Amino acid sequence: MVKKKIYCSVTNDLLQDQRMHRICLSLQTAGYQLTLVGRKQKDSLPLPDRPYAQKRLNCFFQAGKFFYIEYQLRLFFFLIFQQFDILCAVDLDSLPAGHAAARLKGKRLVFDAHEYFEEMPEVVRRPKIRAIWAWIARSYIPKVDLAYTVCQSLADLFEEQHGQPFGVIRNLPLAQPKAQQAVRYPENGPLILIYQGMLNEGRGLEELLAALADFSPQEVQLWLLGKGDKMASLQEQAQSLNLGEQLKFWGFLPPEELQKITPQAHLGLNLLKHQGQSYYFSLANKFFDYVQAEKPSLNMAFPEYQRHLAEYEVALLLEELSPKAISRAIRRLLDEPQLYQQLQANCRLAKQDWLWEKEAQKLLTYYEAL
């Protein structure tokens, strides 16, 4: 049997996209020939060797409307000279070129929606840009052969908007080896909070630092694992609040290092401002990563977290994003160690169920039906 060739297209530099790594790895292992296509950025690090092929396109523009136009053209002309059976366009920013190339070559087209693109915070506040992305969604999503997204809330919303059935492939982690024991509730030392992800707008980081100032270094410390547009301003805020040894900026860490460091902390953080429906209906990778590391977490009371906590109570939820609300939740865990211990016990149950190895079976079913 000849292996079907699948090309997947994204607009990032491939290095940190764990969802696409898991998807490509699962499909490659199942017998497909995978190629993941992204772009090379000015600060892109070399790609590690992976079981599937990887390709970065060079772009003159790095951001803004000219980048998106240039990338569509470069991606289209790259794809039409490739041999593939299935093309998977990831998010709206690679769908127009993917649609044109797949239809020109008479191949199957898949759409993987990681984001509710026209409702992202940086898009919502720009009505003209938002209208363009909404038009792209209306024009192209109904024409794909298979569509799936990251959670049930978005699947229901997209189906209603576009009349196109959407499956759900959650961003679940791979099962981790039991080499490193997760730390228990700290009886003598500080409660260590951990945030992994981009240090960008809308992630509740300013509120988090303000809440941290309510505690002594002996009570609570915070580790920020990642980089982003807000790093400099957060460092200034930390200095003005005299956080000192309470706060540690780790910078960007590869996934292998994250898996080593996360179990050393006590409480995972996954905070978002309600800045558009994209955040409100989100289901972050880090929520499941914390569970896999047996870390209770602090999340927003958005629909998907409520849905998952009804299955396994592994976290506390905030009704509002404010320093006072964050501080109150942390204080509750300090005052009620038995609550922390119960949440951690629930993480040990959930980590056996919320696994990529199980979610991948559903992914394979989708592709086998094409």
Domain CATH for 97: 3.40.50.2000
362 and 297 assigned to the same domain: no
The verdict on residue 196 lying in a domain is: yes
**Residue 4 binned pLDDT confidence (cut-offs 50, 70, 90):** very high
Mean pLDDT lowest among 50-64, 112-126, 346-360: 112-126
Rounded-to-integer distance, Cα 230 and Cα 135, Å: 31
Summarised one tens digit per residue, pLDDT across range 130-184 is 999 999 999 999 999 999 999 999 999 999 999 999 999 999 999 887 655 667 7
162 and 264 assigned to the same domain: no
**Residue 340 binned pLDDT confidence (cut-offs 50, 70, 90):** very high
The pLDDT of residue 185 is 78
266 and 203 assigned to the same domain: yes
Half-sphere exposure of 177 (CA within 13 A, CB side): 4
The verdict on residue 182 lying in a domain is: no
Per-residue pLDDT for 73 more than 70? yes
122 and 198 assigned to the same domain: no
Rounded-to-integer distance, Cα 350 and Cα 358, Å: 13
18 and 35 assigned to the same domain: yes
Mean pLDDT lowest among 93-97, 275-279, 310-314, 339-343: 275-279
The verdict on residue 148 lying in a domain is: yes
222 and 332 assigned to the same domain: yes
Summarised one tens digit per residue, pLDDT across range 216-233 is 999 999 999 998 889 999
The verdict on residue 274 lying in a domain is: yes
The verdict on residue 186 lying in a domain is: no
146 and 255 assigned to the same domain: no
Which spans in the chain are helix H?
18-29, 64-79, 95-105, 121-124, 127-140, 152-162, 205-212, 231-240, 255-261, 277-280, 285-292, 303-309, 323-335, 337-350, 356-368
Q: Tell me the residue range of the domain where 112 lies.
A: 5-172+356-368
The pLDDT of residue 202 is 86
The pLDDT of residue 205 is 97
The pLDDT of residue 180 is 59
Average of pLDDT values for 180-203? 85
Quote the number of domains for the chain. 2
The verdict on residue 103 lying in a domain is: yes
Helix (H) / strand (E) containing 223: strand 220-225
75 and 144 assigned to the same domain: yes
For residues 182 and 84, which has the higher predicted lDDT (pLDDT)?
A: 84
For residues 3 and 35, which has the higher predicted lDDT (pLDDT)?
A: 35
160 and 269 assigned to the same domain: no
Rounded-to-integer distance, Cα 269 and Cα 204, Å: 10
